[in-house]
Amino acid sequence: MNVEDIRKDFPILDQQVNGKELVYLDTSATSQTPAPVIDAMTAYYKEYNSNVHRGVHTLGTKATDGYEKARMKVRSFINAKRYEEIIFTRGTTAAINLVARSFGDMVIEPGDEIVVTEMEHHANIVPWQELAKRRQAELKFIPMEADGTLTMENVKAAIGEKTKIVAITHVSNVLGTINDIKEIAKVARKNDAYISVDGAQAVPHMSVDVQDLDVDFYAFSGHKMLGPTGIGVLYGKSELLDDMEPIEYGGDMIDFVDLRTSTWTDLPVKFEAGTPMIAEAIGLAHAINYIEEIGPQAILEYEQELVNYALERMRTVEGIEIYGPDKRAGLITFNLTDVHPHDLATALDSEGIAVRAGHHCAQPLMKWLGVSSTARASFYIYNTKEEIDVFIEGLKRTKEFFSYEF
């Protein structure tokens, strides 16, 4: 892959921030958007802006065609068995909440266990906490190793005959830990449990085959994979989705409405109440096209090259503490001794370097790490080793500044 050619497709990168060339290292929060995605969404608004599924006129037909072709593109991208298994949502958070509220309320009985981990994003903890409260179930955590990884011994010990749902991230947004979802799913199956996966940090960066993983539900977001904000995907096995009740009502999701009763239409529209994210779905499809043109394997290999280079360089910075395993996805969470992460991020921003600072929507994990917050640098296809060098020099200058005795 030619990174310089790729960078030309991202107009936002061609700017200065605070008088310095922008170095964007915050993809784990939101990736940047290439011109083909922007152009596709602009074309929708300029040429065929219309609602879907509701009209026979030309613009409505073209909009519906674009929207449903996007669903087929997603189905192919993650190798779902049927297009009906692809539900468009507002994002990963909305997708997980749909599973917890609809499927969870359907299958969880008092005394059942819901198994999660301490590395989860709040979006993959809070919905299960609330489900456990509603259904008098128990929330159980798989213990982590010191480097933030899971062992299969601990997985097998945590998932038992009382387990009904396993909810787990594919890739940690803080540690970069890559969980072995296929093996964890096998353990869930042996215990007659279901498995729901937060794939927000995985789908943009590696090949994901939901049939091979044998997961029941898998959620991810468009804005972390070169697409627009405001759209996500819930994959669910059709036999489970068929039995689930919608949690939002109105619009195309109805079949028949009487004064006191209503019935629902078929999958996937049953879970897509109201006017859907039409332009966003079209943008997501073009983002997938962009990823496929480069190749998920090429993206994974390049990110591994970047993150390994960054780890090597960061370890030369005095007073740095890096969290997570050596083998990780393309992100690094860290702290500098005596420098608050927000001060660090502010100092780096003054040099045009964008990193994330805070608890990263993972307060239980911060507690496990023994810190209140951290800084995080994350990498993608448009980043370079030269940018990492700029980042390292920025870290060193920040450390020197805050170590100076006035």
Write the CA distances from 34 to 205, 223, 352, integer angstroms.
16, 11, 20
Question: In sequence order, what DSSP letters do the residues of 128-162 get, joined into one string?
Answer: HHHHHHHHT-EEEEEPPPTTS---HHHHHHH--TT
H helix and E strand count, the chain: 15, 17
Q: What is the separation of C-alpha 184 from the centre of its chain, rounded to a whole number of angstroms?
A: 19
- Please give the single-letter amino acid code of residue 158: A
Q: Is 269 left (phi over 0), alpha (psi -120 to 50) or beta?
A: alpha
Chain centre to alpha carbon of residue 227: 12
Q: Name the nearest CA neighbour of 342 among 322, 356, 331, 360.
A: 356
**Structural contact between residues 375 and 355, judged by C-beta atoms closer than 8 angstroms:** yes
Helix residue spans in 200-295 (DSSP H): 210-213, 238-243, 278-294
Greatest Cα-to-Cα distance within the chain, rounded to the nearest angstrom: 75
Residue 197 φ/ψ, nearest 5 degrees: -120, 130
Annotation marks residue 361 as catalytic: yes
**Among residues 146, 312, 121, which one has the least CA distance to residue 219?**
121
Which of 35, 314, 361, 392 is catalytic? The answer is 361
Strand positions, DSSP E, 200-340: 217-221, 232-236, 254-257, 262-264, 320-323, 331-336
Strands 163-169 and 194-198: parallel
Structure tokens at 395: 């870290």
C-beta separation of 65 from 47 below 8 A? no
CA distance 226 to 152: 33
- The catalytic residues are 361
